[in-house]
Structure 1
Amino acid sequence: MERSKRVMWLVLLLIFVLIAGGCGTSSAEKDAKGTITIGLNNWPENIAVSNMWKILLEEKGYKVELSAMEKSPVWAGIAKGDLDIAPEVWLPQTDEPLYNEYKDQLELHEAWYEGTALGLVVPAYMDINSIEDLDKLGINTIVGIDPGASMMKLTKKLIKEYGLNYELIESSEPAMMSELTKAYKEKKPVVVTLWSPHWAFSEFDLKYLKDPKKIFGDQENIYFMTRKEFGKDYPEVLKWMNKWHMDDQSLGQLMATINKTNSPEEGAKQWIKENRNLTNQWFE
């Protein structure tokens, strides 16, 4: 009887050791995968996909940190190697100045979104369709975003090229959206700098003003970039991200879910749960 008890206790002890050892190995393997830092600026689609990738990579055993800043510091951080990934590069025109400045110090990868748009946007109730008609509005301000954004530089160029008597107001994406929302509710005239993809187009009836001089250029694609040697340090992550592709529907749903939950992380988690068929394709 005593011998049977001893055998039973030895078996239980062996099981405990095996479980503890397995857990220890799993934790060590997880820690061994390292920390990845994603640099993002305050654009809705940038926040959305950065949180999406944070969750997806953490599921694969990586530790992921998000570092929020304006666009120019993101490029500088990637070039210096202080950041690992930046998910949003608009080319061939919008981010061309930054790309030309830093292209030898970073690595540009696959396009994950095709067919963007950007320009001056007004509510559909406004009786104006072209940038050339802006001086007929009776207002003299364009509400912009953060001063370091390439779009702001293009807008300054646009004001000069069209000879507009307008002031470009520097603010941020949330501040710009606040001004648009307020004016829209009161049916007042307002002109903002905006881009697609953006959740605003699903919330409001908006329109781009025609740009005959094509200051904002034609449609572009969105790429992601990494620091030098990132692919060498994290080959499987780069492989996964090069398979990443989203369209208006998938990206729009992701941004809308985040907007409804009022939490980038929770919204991204919910969207991932509902779109495993899509995200699983990136890891095949």
Structure 2
Amino acid sequence: MKNWKKKLSFILVLLLIAVLTACGSTNEETNGEESGVSNKELSIGQINWAENIAVTNMWKAILEEKGYNVKLTVLDMGVTIKALESGELDASLEIWLPVQDAHYLKEYQDTVNFSESTWFDHAKVGLVVPTYLEEVNSVDDLNEHKELFNGEIIGFDPGAGTMEVTEQLIKDYNLEFELLPSSEPAMIAKIGEAIGDEEPIVAPLWSPHSVFSKYDLKFLDDPQNTFGGVEKIHHATRQGFEEDYPKVSEWFNNWKMDDQQIGELITYVEGAEDPLDGAKKWIEENQELVDQWVK
């Protein structure tokens, strides 16, 4: 009888341990769902533009500090929008409106969420030339100096909104020029080479951009306003993103930067061996600003 009681007590102890262990696991899982997001992966599209590399790495650093697993996927603009539509991407952080990316908004407004909020409000886009080309100050001057530029406008990524607008500009002004696509780094390298030799070059560019701190460039007047006036930079997300990530959605909507802040971020990112390290350094020095976004 005593042996039977001992066995029963032993079995009860084992059952109690099993129940407590199970409860502990359940509590850990529940707490993890409520306060932790380590299992949640965010996929953000990155375009090889200086400011885009800077802000995508900045948000990767911010979100990973909050417990998210962030994957940056390098794509061109057209593929980025299609990936948002299909749900393969969660977010794209750079949509220029009302002009540069207007055709994407028109085509995908029912299948992609374009934010009403903006994170940069004083962007500018247009054709630029070195300031030493004193005789070229307007798009209207280009045909007169066609031979100076070999009839070429040095472009960047095909499919980018600004490239589409530049093609429209060529039509609007009846320019006898060809737009040559390449990539942003290749275009910037061409600009640097031309300025180093004090040669003429014309290219589509935008501000904010770190190139303006390196070289003396001027925007050409655009009398027909093909490039538009002041552009604002928005973000876009896949459908359902706000429901799946309400906090991140709110943080993106709170995000706001000025010329100095984005300029410094680009400088930090470009000056670091690893862009993420540069972004983290900038965040450390601007923690109060970041805290305003993720409050």
Same fold (TM > 0.5) = yes
Instruction: Report the alpha carbon displacement of residue 263 of structure 1 after superposing the two structures with TM.
Output: 3.0
1:116 and 2:123 are equivalent in the alignment: yes
In 2, the alpha carbon distance for the partners of 1:40 and 1:258 equals 14
Look up the match of 1:275: 286
1:103 and 2:109 are equivalent in the alignment: yes
Match of 2:142 among 134, 140, 150: 134
1:227 and 2:235 are equivalent in the alignment: no
In 2, the alpha carbon distance for the partners of 1:160 and 1:233 equals 44
1:146 and 2:154 are equivalent in the alignment: no
Look up the match of 2:188: 177
Look up the match of 1:16: none
Query: Equivalences for 1:203-218 in 2 at 5 Å?
Result: 203-218=214-229
Q: Unmatched 5+ residue regions in structure 1?
A: 1-20
Letter in 1 for 2:118: A
Match of 2:258 among 234, 241, 247: 247
Query: Equivalences for 1:161-200 in 2 at 5 Å?
Result: 161-200=172-211
Query: Equivalences for 1:63-102 in 2 at 5 Å?
Result: 63-102=69-108
Cα distance change on mapping 1:199 and 1:262 into 2, 3 Å: farther
In 2, the alpha carbon distance for the partners of 1:184 and 1:216 equals 24
Instruction: Report the alpha carbon displacement of residue 170 of structure 1 after superposing the two structures with TM.
Output: 0.7
Deviations 1:48-72 (A, max 9, x none): 1111000100000000000110000
Deviations 1:47-106 (A, max 9, x none): 111110001000000000001100001101111111101101111111110111111012
In 2, the alpha carbon distance for the partners of 1:212 and 1:62 equals 47
In 1, the alpha carbon distance for the partners of 2:268 and 2:37 equals 31
Rg larger in structure: 2
Equivalent pair of 2:155/2:203 in contact (CA under 8 Å): yes
Equivalent pair of 2:96/2:232 in contact (CA under 8 Å): yes
Look up the match of 2:55: 49
Match of 2:272 among 246, 258, 261: 261
Normalising by structure 2, what TM-score?
0.85
Letter in 1 for 2:169: L
Instruction: Report the alpha carbon displacement of residue 33 of structure 1 after superposing the two structures with TM.
Output: 4.7
In 2, the alpha carbon distance for the partners of 1:185 and 1:262 equals 25
Instruction: Report the alpha carbon displacement of residue 136 of structure 1 after superposing the two structures with TM.
Output: 3.2
The secondary structure found in structure 2 opposite 1:223 is: strand
The secondary structure found in structure 2 opposite 1:118 is: strand
* RMSD of aligned residue pairs (Cα, Å): 1.9
Letter in 2 for 1:148: G
In 1, the alpha carbon distance for the partners of 2:273 and 2:227 equals 31
Instruction: Report the alpha carbon displacement of residue 277 of structure 1 after superposing the two structures with TM.
Output: 1.3
The secondary structure found in structure 2 opposite 1:111 is: coil
Equivalent pair of 2:45/2:74 in contact (CA under 8 Å): yes
